[in-house]
Structure 1
């Protein structure tokens, strides 16, 4: 467990790198302990609570990998070609049978059990058949086209480790080795809230000085794509210190994670920090060398992980993706660290101030000779902008020490999902 962080609005501390801020957020996160048993059909996307072992060998018996003919290599004496009579037929679903009669072949189909004593299967395309006899000219190797019992997974061997997300191929693996159900960690309970009298929900008339609340929709939609999370939307909290304190106290009692947007700077109208102090939160206002989204609150509020994201929409999206989401993955119990960054090259010129890692919305319509996307920058970097990220195919990351980006500059890009 990391050292508790003191709630310190406006703290005059060092500016952290994005990686350091991410590590601090992950350090104060704790995995949910409760588990539940689910059938495989309902477990897609959930997180395994413990290792799973194979209930059956995979495959459960020696079987044919091809349609063809099973035979014994000892029956292929001398130099070819060899001619063998076909005496039997075995299809998928048939019971295993005794060995082929000496000097004969057995017609066999993909998935069918290998007859005892047969040590190769010749593809039907590699023989000539005339009536009930086949002729082959090339000697097969031992074990050719035979899938051996347990060669994929032995009975009792570990099929999946704890902490992995259950993808469709992983569920298929479990089904294939006879596992009907799994223990998964329960879903992470996430509460989201927005603060500020300036906010109104879409569909309502804007009063003078108000803007529509886009962060709520962004966060809800982002969290909805995480099958291991469930979200409670607490709506907009007005600038009432007592109401804010009561809301965040209750949210921390009933959720694993609380995420607010807006009201995390040191301004006198930013009541979130006052409420957090009053609730003895173990938090810090981090100064992060990131553009957009320099101010960020992270830590613990009672038993809950707490994130205070910037109010500007693009800044909120970037700080959630780069710092909050990895910590949420730890709360979910996930042990895998996805690497979604792909190599790309700039197709634009951009002069910038150094010192902060910058995340830029980009699109592309072409690739270079190495197949890398040639990126075009969208927008002008304003943290309140919505149209660039809405039109983006991905987010490019610019290292903090680069002052000028020229066409052809190697960059990395995170492709945005559908």
Structure 2
């Protein structure tokens, strides 16, 4: 069997970064930037009032309490008048452009207005309550770096800069094929049936990467149905095919032979990990990668987290994810030569050091512990003093 690091290296060696495409800002959420975004102008674009009040020209570094000014104008946000040469003070609204030669805003709460005059009740500093042009970002500087996932904060900045379209990495086209004659959708089950949990899990997980789903197929336990499903994925120009089940060495484990008959080149089959040891990876010349996972739910979760997610990172052009180190609270039951992936709760001990508390009752078929954890951990041959940990959801690390 191949080790996990060697298997992952082989797989990522076949995972090329995808090309870029230009997308409207309304459709860019969750995508990865293909290049740096350079600010086309300063933000704010002009000096403006930070609050409602009165704009004045300070006579020095301070305005003394009791000073009075003649209010010569009202200046609202959006007003394009730039100069009030005869006004000593100007009533101004939050966000309004500072008129020429005005340099200070006194809040309305610290002012007393009588007719056309205003009196300030406290000492005020010159330049206060003014948002300076470029104080958020200067023109020509990098606003967002390449390979950043576009989240709502990034969209807010892009919109504020007036950027309507950006170059992002093309969404990977992914097909899901779940094998198993026993699999059924939700609802009543036949006597020997089970509900398909792997298909919905993978569809939901992949959706968080913003993939373009080319299809999700559930096939019975015979090679012909699987063969046709893979052929359909090839016809749909999938970049990645993820399968579950029928990948071990039993009578009904037809996936390796079916892939070979279609011309796939096997990268590896069986990895020294638990759960998920029978995992297989293959690739088609000028075609998609295939990651074929075992059928147990947590083996699927491990395969997605530690094989499929790294492939998606590579396709997005992202650097490999780096784990955090922590101590495991109890020694797992491990076997020599295998790398174990498990579930736990990340916390800190009494000394403030990172620790992972192992989720109880873990097994490859048990789903409930997965819902009770917040991290994955990995241990080799019973080591607990220092283990690798990863966020439960790989998109949280991107």
TM (norm. structure 1) is: 0.77
Alpha-carbon shift at residue 270 of structure 1 (Å)? 2.0
Q: CA RMSD in A?
A: 3.7
Alpha carbons of 1:77 and 1:327: their partners in 2 closer, same or farther (altered >3 Å)?
closer
Structure 1 unaligned regions, length at least 5? 1-11
> For residues 34-183 of structure 1, what are the structure 2 equivalents within 5 Å?
35-38=21-24, 40-73=25-58, 75-76=59-60, 80-81=64-65, 83-87=67-71, 88-98=73-83, 101=86, 104-125=88-109, 127-129=110-112, 131=114, 132-135=117-120, 137-138=122-123, 140-141=125-126, 143-155=127-139, 157-183=141-167
> For residues 298-377 of structure 1, what are the structure 2 equivalents within 5 Å?
298-302=281-285, 303-331=287-315, 333=316, 335=318, 349-353=330-334, 356-362=338-344, 377=358
Alpha-carbon shift at residue 287 of structure 1 (Å)? 4.6
CA distance in 2, matches of 1:293, 1:160: 38
Structure 2 unaligned regions, length at least 5? none
Alpha-carbon shift at residue 350 of structure 1 (Å)? 4.4
Please give the per-residue CA displacement for 1:92-131, whole angstroms capped at 9, x wherever unaligned.
12224315658x3333222010111223334445x44353
CA distance in 2, matches of 1:360, 1:413: 10
CA distance in 2, matches of 1:214, 1:57: 50
Identify the residue that residue 239 of structure 1 maps to in structure 2: 222
Alpha carbons of 1:415 and 1:384: their partners in 2 closer, same or farther (altered >3 Å)?
closer
Identify the residue that residue 391 of structure 2 maps to in structure 1: 414
Alpha-carbon shift at residue 207 of structure 1 (Å)? 5.5
Q: For this pair of structures, how many residues does the alignment match?
A: 389
Please give the per-residue CA displacement for 1:18-40, whole angstroms capped at 9, x wherever unaligned.
xx5444433311233363533x2
Alpha carbons of 1:24 and 1:64: their partners in 2 closer, same or farther (altered >3 Å)?
farther
Identify the residue that residue 266 of structure 2 maps to in structure 1: 283
TM (norm. structure 2) is: 0.81
Q: 1:28 aligns with which of 10, 14, 18?
A: 14
Alpha carbons of 1:414 and 1:114: their partners in 2 closer, same or farther (altered >3 Å)?
same
CA distance in 2, matches of 1:328, 1:79: 60
CA distance in 2, matches of 1:157, 1:37: 22
Alpha-carbon shift at residue 215 of structure 1 (Å)? 1.5
Query: Quick check: 2:104–2:130 contact (8 Å CA) kept in 1?
Result: yes
CA distance in 2, matches of 1:82, 1:415: 61
Alpha carbons of 1:380 and 1:350: their partners in 2 closer, same or farther (altered >3 Å)?
farther
Moved more, 127-136 or 372-381: 372-381
